[in-house]
Amino acid sequence: MSTGLDITVKKREPKVVASVSMKGPYTQIGEAFGKLYSWIAEQGYIPAVPPVGVFHNDPKQVPATELLWELRCPIAGFAKPTGPDDQGRGFKQVDEATMAAIIHKGPIDEIWLSYDTLKGWINSNGYEIIGPPEEVYLAKPDGTLPGETLTEIRFPVHKR
């Protein structure tokens, strides 16, 4: 596992993305991406990369059945924001934000080590976390060796 230790602070650009809101264990991520990508195609759009996971609560504090999370996918072309449909899918405006980020390379079950490193850096460098963490999936899990997964972990932050 490599945290890269190269922590950056950068801007997340505003954009409209396709999204699906989910409740339940993270083991549903593969199924949820299938649901999202099918819906994007039905709407006449092409998914762009990289996709993003946003996690609204902590699995250390909430039972797996109560986890709230969403998947976001940039799209080729322009779409107007829409409310979620009855299955939690829609187009969503993502606003600009300052993000502290680190790259996790390694097994996904060790990603928490990179989260801890990033949180420690944020606190030690005068920043405060102001929103849920995001995971930017830089390598497809189905075509990547388990120890070679690349995920950018980022938190929205502001200077204290």
The pLDDT of residue 15 is above 50 = yes
Q: Is residue 1 part of a domain?
A: no
Chain-wide mean pLDDT for the chain? 91
pLDDT of residue 31: 93
Q: Is residue 146 part of a domain?
A: yes
The pLDDT of residue 6 is above 70 = yes
- The CATH number linked to 67 is 3.20.80.10
Interval 17-61: pLDDT, tens: 999 999 999 999 999 999 999 999 999 999 998 999 999 999 889
Q: Is residue 2 part of a domain?
A: no
Q: Is residue 65 part of a domain?
A: yes
**Domain count within the chain:** 1
pLDDT of residue 2: 41
Q: What are the Cα distances from residue 134, in Å, to 79, 81, 129, 151, 152?
A: 22, 20, 12, 10, 8
pLDDT of residue 5: 62
Q: Is residue 117 part of a domain?
A: yes
Q: 4 falls in which pLDDT band (50, 70, 90)?
A: very low
Residues 99, 136: contact at Cβ < 8 Å?
no
Mean pLDDT of 84-112: 94
Q: Is residue 97 part of a domain?
A: yes
Interval 121-154: pLDDT, tens: 999 999 999 999 999 999 865 655 666 789 999 9
Structural domain containing residue 65: 8-159
Interval 67-82: pLDDT, tens: 999 999 999 989 999 9
Q: Is residue 3 part of a domain?
A: no
User: What is the DSSP code string of 50-105?
Assistant: --EEEE-S-TTTS-GGG-EEEEEEEEES--------TTSEEEEEE--EEEEEEEEE
SS3 142: helix
Q: Is residue 78 part of a domain?
A: yes
